[in-house]
Amino acid sequence: MADEPTPWELHRSMEALRRSVETGFNSLNARLDKLVPVDLFQAYQQAVQRQFDEHEREIAALNAARDAEKNQRSADRRLIGLAVFTAFVSPLVILLIQLWLTGKGT
């Protein structure tokens, strides 16, 4: 019976084990307190997704506006070219036709 622990040693071992388990649970509770509930996390994720969707719509609108502006600039360039042709080249062509007709008539 000399190998068996005394009741006092058993009591000390049980108290040490209880303190160790209590410390472990306190540590676990402290870690669990830092976790975010699932429904709160999902709500956050949905809010982030809505923001991404909104930014995508804004970017698409900006791209569409930029493309429309490019098309407008292209149309403006064509009109400027037509105006230059009309203002400078067509009078020269008319003058050359008149000179040719005048030279042919004499």
Question: Between vectors from CA 77 to CA 73 and to CA 83, what angle results, nearest 5°?
Answer: 140
3-state SS, one letter per residue, for 21-69: HHHHHHHHHHHHHCCCCHHHHHHHHHHHHHHHHHHHHHHHHHHHHHHHH
What is the reported pLDDT for 39? 92
pLDDT in tens, 42-54: 999 999 999 999 9
pLDDT in tens, 6-26: 889 889 999 999 999 999 999
CB 13 within 8 A of CB 5: yes
Question: Among residues of the chain, what percentage have pLDDT more than 90?
Answer: 58
CB 4 within 8 A of CB 12: no
Question: Among residues of the chain, what percentage have pLDDT more than 70?
Answer: 97
- CA 13 to chain centroid: 59
User: How would residue 106 be classed by pLDDT, with cut points 50, 70 and 90?
Assistant: low
User: How would residue 35 be classed by pLDDT, with cut points 50, 70 and 90?
Assistant: confident
